[in-house]
Structure 1
Amino acid sequence: MKRKSLFALSAVVVVAAAALVPVLWSGSDYLHNGTAVAATPADQAALIKKGEYLARAGDCIACHTVRGGKEFSGGLPMATPFGTLFTPNITPDDQYGIGKWSQDDFYRAMHTGRSKDGSLLYPAFPFTSYTKVSRADSDAIYAYLRSVPPVSVPSRPHELKFPFNNRNLLIGWRTLFFREGEYKPDPTKSVEWNRGAYLIEGLGHCGMCHTSINAMGGPVNSAAFAGGLIPLQNWYAPSLTSNKEAGLGDWDIKDISDLLKNGVSQRGAVFGPMAEVVHNSLQYMSDEDVHAMSTYLKTIPQKSEAPEHLQLETSEQFGGELLKQGQKIYADNCAKCHSENGLGMPPSFPPLANNQSIQMPSAVNPIRMVLNGGYPPSTGGNPKPYGMPPFAQALSNQEVAAVVTYIRQSWGNHGTAVSPQQVSDLRSAPLD
């Protein structure tokens, strides 16, 4: 569920969020210079508060704020296979931000993927998901962004390779991969389920990471939510449709909710891009919304698996050697926290035994964790998370491959052996 979306043809204008909450507008509301203004100061304050919550739900700050920079002033470089784009300033600055945008302009960007001047937006701004957001929620986010301090910082020009710097090519992309339309509730499902679907499929835009993309930067819709490698980030977003990976069909609702809200649960912990999502966004969502999202995620049906990425295979003999070597490395470096039997001490130290994320076909994530270490996010429910130390300096490529092979094949786990070449390829991968 990573919000940075460092793939497809990267981001352009505004980011928003979603929530099916009572509309705060009435017939007495009006527009002032294209800006939504509620009937009373109290109504306007409530509208802005609602918009702030929705902006948190959509993780707007992750893409539109450079670390250490002014909030929502943009400038974040987003590397893609097609070049580098830079996120725009979405503060209410008249010259460089969205100060001259009307609420209609804002909604058009979210709903149709077109900027104020009508130009097409690049699809790493996830308008393909945001089109599902209701007009009322779009207006609330707009009101909130209009309330933040303006920042006079110009947006940096994108650095796209030819021919991807030609926006006219987006016409063909949109024909293939974009269907405009707000979310329509499923009358056969509960209100809670529909709420969760609205959040996950709309401004949550979870499918942008958990669905593979093709050579054109478009989603493989036949394998929606079936997992995929996030290009250039070198993290694997696991399948939400298969219990062989992160499919949640056999998880308790509480475990799913804990993972989303706190970053840790009895079933495991989040690291990498998902840790940022929890830290910036999900921990601030209401318990009711997190429960609704968990309810929906638990019911995502089994679908086609994600296209398999090339993964170097080891011979059976070499795999056996790695397994034996990894057993000793595990005992010396890992058992203290994760226990000799692999059950760990959850939620502080997640279990490795019977852990789908350890034994998925893709070994990218466990290799990255052993190499680089990391922390689950610091959240209200888990303010002092325990971290995983990095072993990149202490272990060779073969030693990392050995210990990852051991944890993928022990305690009833059924993962395949890991090649030292896979470790070598990921050792130099970017950490963000």
Structure 2
Amino acid sequence: MKARLLAVALLAALALAGAMVYGLNHLDEAAPTQSAAATSPAMVERGAYLARAGNCMGCHTQRGGAPYAGGRALPTPFGDVFAPNLTPDPATGLGQWTSNDFWAALHNGRSKDGRLLTPAFPYTNYALVTREDADALFAYLQSLPAVAQANRAHELRFPYNTQPAMAVWRALYFRPAVFKPDAGRSAEWNRGAYLTQGLGHCNACHAPRNSLGATPAATDFSGGMLAPLAWYAPSLHDPAEAGVADWPAQDLRQWLKTGSSASSSALGPMGEVILGSTQYLNETDLAAMATYLQSLPQHAAAKSTQRRPEPALRELGKALYADHCARCHGEQGEGVKAAYPALAGSRSVQMQNPANLLRIIQRGGFAPATAGNPRPYGMPPFAGILSDTEQAALASFVRNAWGNQAADVRPLDVLQLKTQRVN
């Protein structure tokens, strides 16, 4: 809380300087001059594929709304951001935009009128996208049916809702740069890096954020708390969290394609990514992403001080597990192959941060229904059945049964997770 107040004070103090130095209409990067190639059906088709790779529809479509027409609320620690209309409606969408305008948004984080866009739109990643891919994306968006749906104003707190604050943030944390292949790596590795760091914007979730919401770098995947959603995006560098360096490559490709592998199912926000994005990637790109992800440096995260075990809490959890969980997950947490994941030895269960385990207990576990796994098994929610103490007890038991070893979860942990959650 102190850090956040300090950040507000800093932004307020720098806002005037930001406005003077970076003026609201001052372009700190050269304006793009390259024009798009003539639009063709192949270009539109390519753009549609790239839009899937970036999961653009996931943010720019509200539940029950027209595709890409915007309106979905994106909760942040600074207030809600509402995704804009990307359809070619001339009044409320991109109908009056040019390919240069779209490139400026992706590469420079600026709207058609010169406004600085909020970094909730991950232009820190999208800046890596090539001009050719940006033009293809724009061609696809222009081919969509126009939907007249006015954009909703963001609901950010002061000073985060000001253009000077955006200018300061950019001065501190943003430098546009198109992806540059690593000459020492294979073409497959570079393709995977391009997709993961750029359009896939994977570290927008899988990286820690500072008090102003900035991530360290597009190559940092050391894990981050999605505070408004109360989910934790685990570290891809940590073998004990979500590192995949030792996975069989085929298993990783299958997981990205179907949301399920022999040892893991994708749940929560990652399930949404697979549902709307990676299941549609071709085998070449899936292999490239797998190659890149498996090359990430592996190192264990620092461990916090171990809590003193609470035997009474675990005993309560043992009884709750027998009543509510053993029928599917097995008396020894062994699970059922291709149906119910094993809890014994599970990384997700034993992660230092228990947020995801608690969220699954509360909301249930539902893998994405993909073409490769059209009828996944699911787990019902228990938030309306188990109290905070019972949720903590159940989590503590499964984190320490059948050879698992992790810190107990306290009722206060459950309460804190509930209070930070937006939806």
Are 2:125 and 2:218, in contact at CA under 8 Å, matched by a contact in 1?
A: no
Q: For the structure 1 residues 315 and 305, does the alpha-carbon distance in structure 2 shift closer, same or farther, using more than 3 Å as the test?
A: closer
User: Which consecutive residues of structure 2, in runs of 5 or more, have no partner in the other structure?
Assistant: 1-33
Matched, 1:297 2:290: no
Partner of 1:210: helix, strand, or coil? Answer: coil
Question: 1:306 & 1:159 partners in 2: Cα distance?
Answer: 36
Q: 1:410 corresponds to which residue?
A: 401
Question: 1:383 & 1:323 partners in 2: Cα distance?
Answer: 36
TM-score, scaled relative to structure 2: 0.87
Question: 1:181 & 1:172 partners in 2: Cα distance?
Answer: 19
Question: 1:222 & 1:55 partners in 2: Cα distance?
Answer: 19
Matched, 1:321 2:333: no
Post-superposition Cα deviations, 1:52-96, rounded to whole Å, max 9, x if no partner, equal 011011111111111111111111122222222211111111111
Please state how far the C-alpha of 1:278 moved relative to its aligned partner: 0.8
Matched, 1:242 2:233: no
Deviates more, 1:281-290 or 1:233-242: 281-290
Q: 2:195 corresponds to which residue?
A: 199
Are 2:58 and 2:276, in contact at CA under 8 Å, matched by a contact in 1?
A: yes
TM-score, scaled relative to structure 1: 0.86
Matched, 1:79 2:80: no
Are 1:370 and 1:400, in contact at CA under 8 Å, matched by a contact in 2?
A: yes
Q: 1:41 corresponds to which residue?
A: none
Question: 2:132 & 2:302 partners in 1: Cα distance?
Answer: 35
Question: 2:166 & 2:182 partners in 1: Cα distance?
Answer: 31
Question: 1:306 & 1:98 partners in 2: Cα distance?
Answer: 46
Matched, 1:135 2:131: yes
User: 1:4-15 maps to which residues of 2 (within 5 A)?
Assistant: none
Q: 1:344 corresponds to which residue?
A: 335
Are 2:224 and 2:233, in contact at CA under 8 Å, matched by a contact in 1?
A: yes
Are 1:211 and 1:223, in contact at CA under 8 Å, matched by a contact in 2?
A: no
Question: 2:165 & 2:281 partners in 1: Cα distance?
Answer: 37
Matched, 1:158 2:157: no
- For 1:201, the aligned partner's letter is Q
Please state how far the C-alpha of 1:403 moved relative to its aligned partner: 1.5
Of residues 185, 210, 213 in structure 2, which corresponds to 1:214?
A: 210
Q: 1:55 corresponds to which residue?
A: 51
Q: 1:288 corresponds to which residue?
A: 284
Q: 1:3 corresponds to which residue?
A: none
Of residues 117, 120, 127 in structure 2, which corresponds to 1:124?
A: 120
Are 2:224 and 2:232, in contact at CA under 8 Å, matched by a contact in 1?
A: yes
Of residues 369, 380, 384 in structure 1, which corresponds to 2:375?
A: 384
Q: 1:95 corresponds to which residue?
A: 91
Please state how far the C-alpha of 1:151 moved relative to its aligned partner: 1.1
Partner of 1:107: helix, strand, or coil? Answer: helix
Partner of 1:84: helix, strand, or coil? Answer: strand
Q: CA RMSD in A?
A: 2.1
Are 1:36 and 1:103, in contact at CA under 8 Å, matched by a contact in 2?
A: no
Q: Number of aligned residue pairs: give it.
A: 390
Are 1:325 and 1:403, in contact at CA under 8 Å, matched by a contact in 2?
A: yes
User: 1:341-380 maps to which residues of 2 (within 5 A)?
Assistant: 341-380=332-371
Percent of pairs identical after alignment?
Answer: 45
Please state how far the C-alpha of 1:321 moved relative to its aligned partner: 1.8
Matched, 1:397 2:364: no
Post-superposition Cα deviations, 1:173-214, rounded to whole Å, max 9, x if no partner, equal 112221211111111111111111111000100001010111
Q: 2:13 corresponds to which residue?
A: none
Question: 2:93 & 2:408 partners in 1: Cα distance?
Answer: 51
Post-superposition Cα deviations, 1:244-266, rounded to whole Å, max 9, x if no partner, equal 11111221112222221111111
Partner of 1:78: helix, strand, or coil? Answer: strand
Q: For the structure 1 residues 216 and 296, does the alpha-carbon distance in structure 2 shift closer, same or farther, using more than 3 Å as the test?
A: same
Deviates more, 1:322-331 or 1:348-357: 322-331
Post-superposition Cα deviations, 1:111-149, rounded to whole Å, max 9, x if no partner, equal 111111222111111110001111111111110001001
Q: For the structure 1 residues 222 and 135, does the alpha-carbon distance in structure 2 shift closer, same or farther, using more than 3 Å as the test?
A: closer
Q: 2:167 corresponds to which residue?
A: 171
Are 1:268 and 1:346, in contact at CA under 8 Å, matched by a contact in 2?
A: no
- For 1:104, the aligned partner's letter is N
